[in-house]
């Protein structure tokens, strides 16, 4: 075994790899985008608004010495995602890493939910992940250098959150988990790994929505670790799955939930 093989920290090194992160203007996507840069990657930052947090993410990455570009695009548009991937490769180089975090959440009793509310969420949370993976994998298959994709699902794809009426959200996240496994198997012999991360309750703007705020204490009580996750705690799992440290992991859903699903 060579010394390089024994040099464990290098397993997580993302130097000179190009990454695309969706939902990079806020919350989990924003923090992971910075984390990838801190491990050496150059990062294309995609979000639907260019007047949100994208500039902050780009500034934080610039401070690490890595390159970042900002892309305003809606993940429900296949053409927009394809253009984003093309721009990423033209400006930063061959796409090797992708982290798909763009998503929304809202709540309504199933019997009262409108078709529009259901469909809008499904289009972003599930079709948006499929379109993102499709465009990212097309680029990875074309350049032949391999790639690693991580989709942000949720523990809501595994359990039903007590007190939250969000049948569409829970179903969309179960869909992301199984879609990730399905794509992992389609590309397993062509150098692309696909995994998902399922966070538990995490302190982000998504959880400041009105139906959540009064429940924060309950969420903490229901979690074995007795607290919500900090976005910083999503970086390690994402870097692990995207890096060579996870070279034998594909089709995995990694629960990062403070033990929630054990109870
Ligand atoms: P967040 O702070 O709201 O970040 C999500 C980002 O995605 C926002 O900037 C949002 O823009 C963007 N986005 C939404 N729709 C988009 C679209 N169609 N195209 C491009 N960008 C779009 O939420 P977060 O908590 O970080 O969530 C990130 C991911 O983690 C989501 O998939 C979420 O379901 C998942 N997750 C979150 C938690 C949690 O407790 N926070 C737990 C489990 C899983 P806007 O601000 O304009 O909507």
Domain boundaries, the chain: 14-256
As a whole number of angstroms, the distance between CA 229 and CA 204 comes to 9
Instruction: Answer yes or no: are the C-beta atoms of 10 and 245 closer than 8 Å.
Output: no
pTM of the model: 0.97
Long-range pairs of 205-210 with CB within 8 A, sequence gap ≥ 24: 205/26, 205/27, 206/27, 206/103, 206/104, 206/105, 209/105, 209/106
Instruction: Answer yes or no: are the C-beta atoms of 157 and 198 closer than 8 Å.
Output: yes
Q: Pick from 76, 131, 206, 222 the residue to mutate for probing ligand 1's pocket: most ligand atoms within 8 Å of its CB.
A: 206
Q: Is 258 left (phi over 0), alpha (psi -120 to 50) or beta?
A: left
As a whole number of angstroms, the distance between CA 136 and CA 226 comes to 37
Question: How far is the centre of ligand 1, averaged over its atoms, from the C-alpha of 134 (Å)?
Answer: 19
Per-residue pLDDT of the chain (263 residues; tens, 9 = 90+): 455 555 666 899 999 999 999 999 999 999 999 999 999 999 999 999 999 999 999 999 999 999 999 999 999 999 999 999 999 999 999 999 999 999 999 999 999 999 999 999 999 999 999 999 999 999 999 999 999 999 999 999 999 999 999 999 999 999 999 999 999 999 999 999 999 999 999 999 888 777 677 788 899 999 999 999 999 999 999 999 999 999 999 999 999 999 999 99
Report helix angle 54-64 to 27-38, nearest 10: 20
As a whole number of angstroms, the distance between CA 69 and CA 227 comes to 34
| Beta-bridge partners for 100 | 22, 151
154 lines ligand 1 (CB under 6 A): yes
Question: How far is the centre of ligand 1, averaged over its atoms, from the C-alpha of 5 (Å)?
Answer: 37
In which order are the strands placed within the sheet that holds 147-152? 68-72, 42-47, 18-22, 95-100, 147-152, 192-199, 253-256
Q: Quickly count: other Cβ atoms within 10 Å of residue 164's Cβ.
A: 16
CATH says 14-256 is which class? Answer: alpha beta
106 lines ligand 1 (CB under 6 A): no
């Amino acid at each position: 075994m060579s010394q390089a093989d024994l040099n464990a920290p290098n397993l997580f090194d993302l130097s000179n790899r190009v990454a695309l992160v969706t939902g990079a203007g806020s919350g989990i996507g924003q923090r992971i985008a910075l984390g990838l840069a801190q491990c050496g990657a150059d990062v294309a930052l995609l979000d639907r608004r260019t007047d949100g947090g994208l500039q902050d993410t780009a500034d934080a990455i610039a401070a690490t010495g890595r390159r970042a570009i900002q892309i305003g695009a809606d993940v429900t548009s296949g053409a927009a995602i394809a253009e984003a991937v093309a721009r990423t490769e033209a400006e930063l180089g061959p796409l090797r890493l992708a982290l798909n975090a763009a998503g929304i959440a809202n709540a309504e009793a199933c019997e009262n939910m409108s078709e529009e509310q259901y469909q809008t969420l499904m289009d972003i949370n599930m079709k948006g992940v499929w379109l993102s993976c499709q465009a990212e994998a097309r680029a990875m298959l074309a350049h032949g250098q391999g790639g690693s994709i991580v989709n942000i699902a949720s523990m809501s794809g595994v359990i039903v959150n007590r007190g939250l009426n969000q049948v569409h959200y829970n179903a969309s996240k179960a869909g992301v988990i199984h879609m990730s496994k399905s794509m992992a198997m389609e590309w397993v012999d062509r150098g692309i790994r696909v995994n998902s991360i399922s966070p538990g309750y995490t302190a982000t703007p998504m959880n400041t929505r009105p139906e959540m705020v009064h429940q924060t204490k309950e969420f903490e009580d229901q979690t074995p670790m007795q607290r919500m996750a900090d976005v910083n705690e999503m970086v390690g799992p994402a870097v692990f799955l995207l890096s060579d440290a996870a070279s034998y992991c594909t089709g995995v859903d990694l629960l990062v939930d403070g033990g929630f699903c054990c109870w």
